[in-house]
Amino acid sequence: MLIRSTDLGQQVRKYVLDHFLEFSVPPVVEQIMKRFRLDRGQAFEVFQWLEAARHVRLVPGTQRILMAFPFSAVATPFVVTRRNRRWYFANCAWDSVAFHAMLNEEIRIGSQCHHCAESISITLANGRATASPRETRVYLSLPAAKWWDDILNTCSNHMVFFRGTSHIDDWRSANPAAADAALTIEQTHALSVPLYRDRLKLEYVRPSKDELVAHFAALGLTGPFWNL
């Protein structure tokens, strides 16, 4: 195996995120080959390592990056804009909020209600949120233990914004879920901190399952829905 330690994987992981940050799109495998002096098989092996470690998601059946959390390589309903006016697609509602934890700077989120498609606008600064409508919620319709069963489906269909609890109630009546959760924007930001705060650093380490469950509990998020 090419990766005998995490060193190369971490270097490529950071390169991918830095590329997204600068250009709003991921690097292609050929750029990885040139930058790290790898052949195609070696570069793909690194991509597979990153995917197994839950740092990226590839387009199924390809060597192309689809997600490098929180960045999306394709258009989504979750647009994040920095004060320098550079903007990005996020993978889901949670990932859009997580940009604030990752960048540690003010961001704006433009999105739509998953139920009615009306606009939602959010500003996050210093861990505090200003949302329009004020009742905007992040809705999670899959329990935590199932998020990674199919992360593409989870992000696309199960981590979304609603304009308020009445919209969630209307959605639930037509789309019942076995278990779900509705979070404020600030709760979602707090939830994202250990996963995203240091993500742009070379030495970033994804929190363990036990660390995440403990973090959930510290935020008052307990019970079967939050068990990993």
CATH code, domain with 62 = 1.10.10.10
With respect to residue 196, please indicate whether it lies within any of the assigned structural domains. yes
Are 64 and 111 found together in one domain? no
The pLDDT of 135-139, averaged and rounded, is 98
- Checking if the pLDDT of 68 tops 70, the result is yes
Residue 117 and residue 59 share a domain: no
Number of Cα atoms under 13 Å in the Cβ half of residue 25: 7
The pLDDT, as a whole number, for residue 150 is: 96
12, 120: one domain: no
In a domain, 154, yes or no: yes
Does residue 90 lie in a domain region? Answer: no
Does 113 lie in the same domain as 51?
no
Inform me whether the pLDDT recorded for 172 exceeds 80: yes
Residue 161 to residue 140: CA distance in whole angstroms: 9
Instruction: Give me the helices (H) in the chain, please.
Output: 7-23, 29-36, 40-52, 93-103, 151-157, 165-174, 185-196, 209-218
The pLDDT tens digits of the residues spanning 18-64 come to 999 999 999 999 999 999 999 999 999 999 999 999 999 999 999 99
Mean pLDDT of 111-138: 97
Residue 8 has pLDDT above 90, yes or no: yes
**Residues 12 and 32 sit within 8 Å (Cβ to Cβ):** yes
Phi, psi of 198 (to 5 degrees): -110, 20
Both 37 and 117 in one domain: the answer is no
> Which CATH number fits the domain that encloses residue 140?
3.30.450.410
How many angstroms from the chain centroid is the CA of residue 22? 18
Task: Please state whether 36 falls in left (phi above 0), alpha (psi between -120 and 50) or beta.
Answer: alpha
Residue 5 clears pLDDT 80, i.e. is over it: no
Tokens of 171: 């959605």
Same-domain status, 122 and 53: no
Same domain, yes or no: 172 and 218 = yes
- Evaluate whether residue 185 is within a structural domain: yes
Q: What is the pLDDT of residue 2?
A: 53
Greatest pairwise CA separation for the chain in angstroms: 55
Residue 33, token pair as written in the block: 């080959």
At residue 176 the predicted structure's pLDDT band, cuts being 50, 70 and 90, is confident
User: Residue 5 phi/psi, 5° resolution?
Assistant: -145, 180
Q: Percentage of residues in the chain with pLDDT exceeding 70? A: 97
Q: Say if residue 43 is in the same domain as residue 116.
A: no
Query: Residue 40: which domain range?
Result: 7-68
Which of 1-5, 64-68, 120-124, 147-151 has the lowest average pLDDT?
Answer: 1-5
Q: Which residue do the tokens 């989504």 mark?
A: 76
Q: Is the pLDDT of residue 87 over 80?
A: yes
The answer, yes or no, to whether residue 6 has pLDDT greater than 80, is: no
1: pLDDT strictly greater than 60: no
- Asked if residue 4 has pLDDT above 70, the reply is no
What six digits make up the tokens of 180?
């779900």
Sheet holding 87-89, edge to edge: 87-89, 79-82, 107-112, 119-125, 128-132
Same domain as 143, residue 204: yes
Cis, peptide link before residue 60, omega less than 30° from 0: no
Domain count, the chain: 2
Give the mean model confidence (pLDDT) for residues 163-189: 94
Q: Does 227 map to a domain?
A: no
Does residue 75 fall inside a structural domain?
A: no
What contacts 24+ positions apart, CB below 8 Å, involve 81-86?
A: 81/107, 81/108, 81/109, 81/110, 82/106, 82/107, 83/107, 86/24
My answer on whether 113 and 203 are in the same domain is yes
**Per the domain annotation, does 121 fall within a domain?**
yes
- 110, 217: one domain: yes
Q: Is residue 92 part of a domain?
A: no
pLDDT value of residue 130: 98
211 with 117, same domain? yes
- Give the pLDDT confidence score for residue 177 in this predicted structure: 82
